[in-house]
DNA sequence: CCTATTTAGTACGATATCCCACCATTATAA
DNA sequence: TTATAATGGTGGGATATCGTACTAAATAGG
């Protein structure tokens, strides 16, 4: 059969992905409970992305960063633009594309949500040993990088 | 300011959830690439759930297990039933509810997908140190349990 | 240059997800 | 018992996601 550790690995990988899937759902629920009713997690992800990086990214860059189809990103951005949280400006370097900027409202909303999430995160830090999170964080990052690289092969 | 480790924790938790969100998307893409075209990840999750536990669960139980609204579970089950992969039978113990059984086709399809995922998982095990996955697995499980318990408070 | 190919973005249609409202059945309580 | 509340499931509408196809602009090759 030649599965030195192969069989164990398959079960392990399966379990890890399963846990990650559930945690993703639960963490999304925590986030969306703190978001205004007309925003969902993808909206917030975009605001976060623009806050932490430079503004002026193109939609296609963001679609790649989030691993979603560009049509999904178009839709998400349209929603944020309609709420006045981002601005789409033409890209002077490329007539096909646009560049996305946070508005003051967008920046303020993002900051407010972060504050509102504080109690949730504090509760988590109280009830769960965050040194364990610190230990898994690099592994998760490496796994994400590995999967991301393996994706387009 | 009194954030002994508080500030660090918030950033750490944020990062962990962000990585988990991306890994979830990437792992879902890997799975769906191996599924028949008319099945998506939630369908497979249901098949997996029924395979590993006893059949005969009620839809509401499964909705709770997956943390999705019961209407979403109804929709997913309807799809699986239409493909002949599960069977819905009345629940003799409760006239309101139904019980869900895998059909032979459902069982066979699940087994086949597991086999088809083999190469993907082998590639992952070759390129990524699975002992690191083994290390994070218990932390992920505990985190999932903690979040799940904190959910309904 | 000029044509062919690639790329950024969008429109549209199909399906998924989720909220709300509703029905039937069961559990609770008076 | 009987009235009330709670529960399991579904239907319908709104929005989300995603694939396909299309337009316009940029790039590559001749």
pLDDT value, residue A153 = 59
Rounded CA separation A117/A120 (Å): 5
List of A residues 74-113 with CB within 7 A of strand D: 75-76, 79, 94-96
> How does pLDDT run across B22-60, given as a tens digit for each residue?
999 999 999 999 999 999 999 999 999 999 877 889 999
Helix axis angle, A130-151 relative to B104-127, nearest 10°?
Answer: 100
Rounded CA separation A80/A64 (Å): 18
CB of A6 closer than 8 Å to CB of B124: no
CA of A45 to C1' of D14 (A): 22
CB of B40 closer than 8 Å to CB of B31: no
Q: Which two tokens stand for residue A19?
A: 């846990």
Nucleotides of C under 7 A from a protein CB: 7-13, 16-21, 24-27
Residue B126 forms contact with A (CB below 8 Å): no
pLDDT value, residue B7 = 62
Rounded CA separation A85/A79 (Å): 9
Residue A113 forms contact with B (CB below 8 Å): no
Long-range contacts at B32-37 (CB < 8 A, ≥ 24 apart): B34/B113, B34/B116, B34/B117, B34/B120, B35/B113, B36/B109
- The correct answer on CATH 1.10.260.40 for the domain covering A8-151 is no
CB of A42 closer than 8 Å to CB of A69: no
Could you tell me the pTM of the whole model?
0.90
Residue B142 forms contact with A (CB below 8 Å): yes
pLDDT value, residue B55 = 82
- The class of domain B35-151 in CATH terms is mainly alpha
Closest by alpha carbon to B18, among A13, A75, A59, A46?
A: A46
- Nucleic strand D under 7 Å from the C-beta of B58: yes
Q: Do B121 and A13 touch (CB under 8 A)?
A: yes
Closest by alpha carbon to A89, among A59, A63, A109?
A: A59
Instruction: Please check the confidence at residue B139 and state whether its pLDDT lies above 90.
Output: yes
Instruction: Please check the confidence at residue A2 and state whether its pLDDT lies above 70.
Output: no
Phi, psi values for residue B43, rounded to 5°: -60, -45
- DSSP, collapsed to helix, strand or coil, labels residue B5 as coil
What are residue B90's DSSP bridge partners?
B98
Find chain A residues with C-beta within 8 A of B125's C-beta: 5-6, 9-10, 13
Rounded CA separation A139/A133 (Å): 10
> How does pLDDT run across A70-108, given as a tens digit for each residue?
999 999 999 999 999 999 999 999 999 999 999 999 999
CB of A135 closer than 8 Å to CB of B18: no
Residues within 8 A of A (CB atoms), B 31-60 only = 31, 45, 48
Q: Do A150 and B21 touch (CB under 8 A)?
A: no
Where are the domains positioned within chain A? Answer: 8-151
pLDDT value, residue A133 = 96
> How does pLDDT run across B76-129, given as a tens digit for each residue?
999 999 999 999 999 999 999 999 999 999 999 999 999 999 999 999 999 999
Least CB-CB distance to B133: which of A13, A66, A122?
A13
Question: Could you give the C-alpha distances from A137 to A5, A131, B21, in angstroms and in order?
Answer: 25, 10, 13
- Nucleic strand D under 7 Å from the C-beta of A72: yes
Rounded CA separation B60/B66 (Å): 10
pLDDT value, residue B2 = 47
Residue B147 forms contact with A (CB below 8 Å): yes
Please count the CA atoms within 13 angstroms of the CA of A8 that sit on its side-chain side: 7
Average pLDDT over chain A, rounded to an integer: 91
């Amino acid at each position: 059969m030649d599965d030195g550790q192969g069989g164990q690995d398959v079960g392990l990988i399966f379990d890890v992905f399963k846990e990650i899937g559930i945690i993703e759902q639960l963490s999304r629920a925590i986030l969306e409970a703190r978001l205004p009713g007309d925003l969902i997690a993808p909206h917030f992800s975009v605001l976060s992305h623009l806050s932490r990086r430079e503004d002026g990214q193109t939609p296609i860059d963001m679609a790649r960063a989030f691993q979603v189809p560009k049509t999904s990103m178009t839709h998400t951005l349209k929603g944020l633009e309609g709420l006045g949280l981002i601005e789409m400006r033409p890209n002077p370097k490329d007539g096909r594309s646009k560049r996305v900027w946070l508005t003051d409202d967008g920046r303020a909303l993002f900051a407010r949500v972060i504050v509102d999430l504080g109690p949730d995160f504090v509760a988590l830090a109280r009830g769960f040993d965050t040194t364990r999170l610190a230990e898994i964080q690099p592994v998760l990052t490496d796994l994400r990088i590995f999967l991301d690289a393996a994706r387009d092969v």
